[in-house]
Amino acid sequence: MLFKPFVVFSLLSALTAIASPTWSALEEYEASLPRKTSKHQGTRPKIQISPHKPWSPLPTSPSRNRNCYVKSHNDGESDDSAYILDAINKCNNGGHVIFSQGTKYVIGTALNLTYLNHIDLDIQGYIQFTNDTDYWQAHAFSQVFQNVTTFFQLGGNDVNVYGGGTIDGNGQVWYDLYASNIYILRPVLFGTIGLHSGSISNLNLRYSPQYYNFVANSSNVVFSNISISGYSKSNNTAKNTDGWDTYRSSNIVIQNSVINNGDDCVSFKPNSTDILVQNLHCNGSHGISVGSLGQYVGEVDIVENVYVYNISMFNASDGARIKVWPGSPSELSGDLQGGGGSGRVNNITYDTMSISNVDYAIEITQCYGQKNLTLCNAFPSSLTISNVTMSNVHGTTSAKFDPITGYVVCSSETACSDIKLEGIAVVSPSGVENEFTCGDVDESLLQGIDCTTTNKGSN
């Protein structure tokens, strides 16, 4: 009796596989499923935060006392949001919600889940957001910062999300729509908003319309063993698919994950403090980035106490990066402009990074968005950069700036202090090692770096 529903499901999925010639994320996920009954209670993974410890210990999470299985239409198109809310509401305050293995859940309603309390969401199945771009543009949650919107917002206290399942943003319709209009608002796949104490682990995130994770107003949260991937199948590339963006958040850990994307692998936006990032494999990104900061006049942006350890960076524009807008308005593109904000970037460490086919191994700029360095220097940034150490960065850059392999340019002599580079061994394709563009920095702290060019060729 128990295996009967599974037989029906696998027949159905085999038929779907024959009908559709493309290897979808759902099929990929189904192929990886163990051949057993679909309804079972998973156990919460024990997450070791290692080798470095978080800035403050994370609170322990008590075990849960009841199970709620989420029902599904399982037809691939009917909205299962009401079933999801029903299970979550029944199991909030101490329970364990299970999205069953081998089951597809469709979400066509923006879910405001900021009230969660002592709950586990065990996502063993496959969740996909609908492709209704009109609905999502009108209903996705607006997150104030940079026009960010999210499909759902998950917050509250003591929440663990895990299960080995997949969350799919149905990004293709968005990549194609964005190509015709850059002003459309594409939702972020996973919104962690106002979460205090929790973990997000063992999940596959696929085809996000925009960033994969936006973490705002949150504290004491660990992300571990997350797999991120999703490429456009048309000629319209998937843009701004950052792995994580943190904002107004403190004591966040991001570790042991594989990120295949097309923008920042991890980015620390305004007011990110006490952040640990370790053991990531990033492919195709814009690096691990502080910023961009200082984008808005009158705002004070602080990024302080960040430790980034053991990153493998492949096919990227940057490895370790700090990007700050200059003191006067500048424009990078129609939908990305700014400059003139204040604040500080302080106590930032990048330790151990291997790079391969990366344009700049290290890039520190206070002239973000301003290609004309005369103009950048005329209106220096009022957002200071201090106490930065980048060490043990090794590997090979791409041909893009050959023979230059790094860029450290501040906008005035006083806007930056104590920027230290040590143990850097980065080689350009033509075999030149550690040749950097430098400007307005204390070159005596850049150990082993050859500052051959000064103040030339920002991007």
Ligand X SMILES: *[C@@H]1O[C@H](CO)[C@@H](O)[C@H](O)[C@H]1NC(C)=O
Q: Which of 245, 328, 73, 45 is CA-nearest to residue 160?
A: 45
Q: Minimum CB separation from ligand X for residue 104, in Å?
A: 11
The nearer residue to ligand X, 335 or 413, going by C-beta atoms, is 335
**Options 118-126, 201-209, 324-332, 425-433: segment touching ligand X (CB under 6 A):** 201-209
The nearer residue to ligand X, 74 or 434, going by C-beta atoms, is 74
**Options 82-90, 110-118, 426-434, 436-444: segment touching ligand X (CB under 6 A):** 110-118
Residue 179 in contact with ligand X, rule: CB under 6 A? no
Residue 128 in contact with ligand X, rule: CB under 6 A? no
| Three-state DSSP class for residue 353 | strand
The nearer residue to ligand X, 72 or 204, going by C-beta atoms, is 204
Q: Minimum CB separation from ligand X for residue 440, in Å?
A: 16
Is 444 exposed, middle or buried (CB count within 10 Å of its CB: 0-12, 13-18, 19+)? exposed
Residue 173 in contact with ligand X, rule: CB under 6 A? yes
| Three-state DSSP class for residue 400 | coil
Size of the site for ligand X (CB under 6 A): 51
| Three-state DSSP class for residue 408 | strand
Task: Pick from 63, 181, 235, 430 the residue near ligand X by CB under 6 A.
Answer: 235
Residue 92 in contact with ligand X, rule: CB under 6 A? no
Residue 147 in contact with ligand X, rule: CB under 6 A? yes
Query: How many Å apart are CA 314 and CA 418, to the nearest integer?
Result: 28
Q: Which two tokens stand for residue 138?
A: 């009108």
Residue 131 in contact with ligand X, rule: CB under 6 A? yes
User: Residue 35 to residues 75, 104, 109, 122, 269: CA-CA distances in angstroms?
Assistant: 21, 16, 31, 19, 43
Q: Beta-carbon neighbour count of residue 314 at 10 Å?
A: 16
Q: Minimum CB separation from ligand X for residue 450, in Å?
A: 25
Residue 260 in contact with ligand X, rule: CB under 6 A? yes
Q: Minimum CB separation from ligand X for residue 1, in Å?
A: 28
Residue 124 in contact with ligand X, rule: CB under 6 A? no
The nearer residue to ligand X, 258 or 432, going by C-beta atoms, is 258
**Options 238-246, 342-350, 393-401, 434-442: segment touching ligand X (CB under 6 A):** 342-350
The nearer residue to ligand X, 374 or 430, going by C-beta atoms, is 374
Q: Minimum CB separation from ligand X for residue 50, in Å?
A: 7
Q: Minimum CB separation from ligand X for residue 394, in Å?
A: 14
Residues whose CB is less than 8 angstroms from the CB of residue 359 and which lie 6 or more positions away in sequence, other chains included: 316, 317, 318, 397, 398, 400, 401
| Three-state DSSP class for residue 178 | helix
Residue 112 in contact with ligand X, rule: CB under 6 A? yes
Q: Which two tokens stand for residue 401?
A: 């700036």
Q: Minimum CB separation from ligand X for residue 386, in Å?
A: 4
Q: What is the enclosing helix (H) or strand (E) of 356?
A: strand 342-365
Q: Is-contact 282 265, C-beta < 8 A?
A: yes
The nearer residue to ligand X, 274 or 435, going by C-beta atoms, is 274
- Pairing relationship of beta strands 141-142 and 149-150 according to DSSP bridges: antiparallel
- Cα 333–Cα 242–Cα 245 angle in degrees, nearest 5: 100
**Any long-range contacts for 453-456 (C-beta under 8 Å, 24+ apart)?**
453/404, 455/373, 455/377, 455/409, 456/373
Site residues for ligand X, 58-87, by CB under 6 A, read 77
Residue 138 in contact with ligand X, rule: CB under 6 A? no
Residue 262 in contact with ligand X, rule: CB under 6 A? no
The nearer residue to ligand X, 171 or 406, going by C-beta atoms, is 171
| Three-state DSSP class for residue 368 | coil
Q: Minimum CB separation from ligand X for residue 189, in Å?
A: 15
Q: What are residue 359's phi and psi, to 5 degrees? A: -65, -55
Residue 346 in contact with ligand X, rule: CB under 6 A? yes
Residue 413 in contact with ligand X, rule: CB under 6 A? no
Active site (catalytic) residues = 263, 286
With b meaning 16 or more CB within 10 Å and e meaning fewer, what string describes 372-407?
Answer: ebeebbebbbbbbbebbbbbebebbbbeebbbbbbb
Site residues for ligand X, 281-310, by CB under 6 A, read 281, 283-284, 300, 302, 305, 307, 310
Residues whose CB is less than 8 angstroms from the CB of residue 255 and which lie 6 or more positions away in sequence, other chains included: 49, 222, 223, 224, 276, 277, 278, 279, 280
Residues that bind ligand X (CB under 6 A): 45, 51, 77, 112, 114-115, 131, 141, 143-147, 164, 173, 183, 193, 202-204, 216-217, 225, 234-235, 248, 260, 270-271, 279, 281, 283-284, 300, 302, 305, 307, 310, 312, 314-315, 335, 346-347, 349, 372, 374-375, 386-387, 418
